[in-house]
């Protein structure tokens, strides 16, 4: 059973558009939600993260919206650039269990110039 679900699996947007990536989770003990960005041939790298006490986190063109009641969050990439083309993973962890992260299957984003 997938504890962290992501959709869509792939997404194509034009340069300048807003890409919206969705994520949902099952475990109500999850309270930390990082998003990782991965380029081909590289390991994932932390992009932006949010804790469950917040409903929004913004970092430049990247914004996380978080709905604790519905156990859903989304990553918005505004003014998408071709350099944003990558795979994005939503992840979650709880304070216990060694803070191990549970990852979603990822969303592959392609930004066309």
Partner 1 sequence: EAAVTQSPRNKVTVTGGNVTLSCRQTNSHNYMYWYRQDTGHGLRLIHYSYGAGNLQIGDVPDGYKATRTTQEDFFLLLELASPSQTSLYFCASKGKANSDYTFGSGTRLLVI
Q: Note whether 1 binds partner 1 by CB under 8 A.
A: no
Q: Does 95 bind partner 1 (CB under 8 A)?
A: yes
Can residue 100 be called a binding residue for partner 1 (CB under 8 A)? Answer: yes
**Residue given tokens 């932390």 in the structure block:** 46
Piece in contact with partner 1 (CB under 8 A), picked from 14-22, 53-61, 63-71, 93-101: 93-101
Among 7, 63, 74, 102, binds partner 1 (CB under 8 A): 102
Pair of tokens at residue 13: 């947007």
Which parts of 12-71 interact with partner 1 (CB under 8 A)?
34, 41-46, 49
DSSP character for 95? Answer: S
Is 42 within 8 Å of 61 (Cβ atoms)? no
- Asked if 83 interacts with partner 1 (CB under 8 A), we say no
Q: Which residues contact 113 (CB under 8 A, 6 or more apart)?
A: 15, 82
Binding mask 60-79 for partner 1 (x = CB under 8 A): --------------------
Cis peptide before 34 (omega within 30 of 0): no
Q: Which of 42, 18, 45 is nearest to 34 (CA)?
A: 45
Q: Which residues of this protein are in contact with partner 1, per CB under 8 A? A: 4, 6, 34, 41-46, 49, 89, 95, 98-106
């Amino acid at each position: 059973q997938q504890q962290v679900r992501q959709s869509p699996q792939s997404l194509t947007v034009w340069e300048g558009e807003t890409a919206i990536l969705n994520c949902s989770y099952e475990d109500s003990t999850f309270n930390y939600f990082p998003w990782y960005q991965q380029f081909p041939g590289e390991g994932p790298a932390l992009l932006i993260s949010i804790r469950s006490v917040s409903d929004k986190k913004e970092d430049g063109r990247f914004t996380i919206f978080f709905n604790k009641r519905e156990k859903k969050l989304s990553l918005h990439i505004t003014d998408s650039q071709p350099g944003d083309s990558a795979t994005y993973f939503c992840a979650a962890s709880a304070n216990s269990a060694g803070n191990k992260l549970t990852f979603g299957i990822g969303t592959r984003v392609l930004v066309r110039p």
